[in-house]
Structure 1
């Protein structure tokens, strides 16, 4: 599990961010208006929770950055992941029992009527869609992943090890005698092997 901690953290973070972005465009609430003709309005996630789309984009950015982050940044990104997940989880949880603030912008746009009291008088009923629990579950999982990142960050495999290994394997070459293989390597790099001092 620890060996794949980075991959798991990145994939789950990107997935949670993607769910947030997609759900921000989907219907979260249906509002029944008491305006004489009883019609229904669909309220998208971005209207119910205005910070949903921008914070979901931030989660996507965190997921991408985690794939190359060093030790210090892992802790910073882990803390940000926990914070953003907690905020979004709380705001999404509140939509289980939506009130006027969650539907006001959509009602105002459709009717031209503004003000909390006026909008409240128009609303005859509200109901939520499955996108609310789906998105809420994504934030709960993201919160757990944020804790996981903080707990395992020190044990993640470093992304710079490949380059360190390459440097380590090429360094001894300078201390050994020059041979025909080195001449071919020089030619492949566009260098003149005859210009090298004889060993």
Structure 2
């Protein structure tokens, strides 16, 4: 499982980016009986209000997961699974039956009419675009990446080991040259205070 970290981070990142892009695309075409000849286009972020923020959270989790220590790997893996499942449930609800409630904000913005019953009377047809179904792949990637992180987190190599300063090295005690001064600074010591 040497590539587990890479695959986990890549999966969550790809799902989050795809979800963010999908949130800007038209998910539903709404026909309303206001005399307009053209259908109202509703973006994914308008149909699922949490879509863009949770997609951004998945992206942030993926980036953080790439450098996280063991405890945070479990936290971020769990967070990714929760984000993915929440968005998948909301997405599947739209697939199985979008309603006037899902497009209420867009209809109110376009017509100025508010209220669930008034909007429900205005909406005569709702048509889904392929984005509604295709975006399910993004949430499955986020869930899969989170699960992979949870299962393999313990086997990942620690990030950033090569940048850690050894605290075992003894401070220089003789006359200091420029290299010795840098070494003292690397250990967190002030070379100007040495005798």
* TM-score under structure 2 length normalisation: 0.82
1:157 and 2:157 matched: yes
Q: In the TM superposition, what whole-angstrom CA distance separates every residue of 1:107-155 from its partner, at most 9, and x where no partner exists?
A: 1111111111111111111111111122111102211221111110001
- Structure 1 gap ranges (5+): 175-185, 192-199
Q: Distance in 2 between matches of 1:57 and 1:46?
A: 12
Q: In the TM superposition, what whole-angstrom CA distance separates every residue of 1:68-105 from its partner, at most 9, and x where no partner exists?
A: 00000000111111111100000011111210121100
CA RMSD of aligned residues (A): 2.4
Q: Distance in 1 between matches of 2:36 and 2:12?
A: 44
Q: Distance in 1 between matches of 2:148 and 2:20?
A: 23
Contact 1:33 1:39 in 2 (8 A): no
- Structure 2 gap ranges (5+): 183-195
Report deviation, 1:11.
1.2
Query: What's 2:25 paired with?
Result: 26
Q: Distance in 1 between matches of 2:65 and 2:74?
A: 10
Q: Distance in 1 between matches of 2:110 and 2:181?
A: 70
Contact 2:45 2:52 in 1 (8 A): yes
The structure that is helix-richer by fraction is: 1
Contact 1:10 1:66 in 2 (8 A): yes
Report deviation, 1:38.
4.3
Q: Distance in 1 between matches of 2:181 and 2:150?
A: 48
Q: In the TM superposition, what whole-angstrom CA distance separates every residue of 1:49-76 from its partner, at most 9, and x where no partner exists?
A: 0000111110011011001000000001
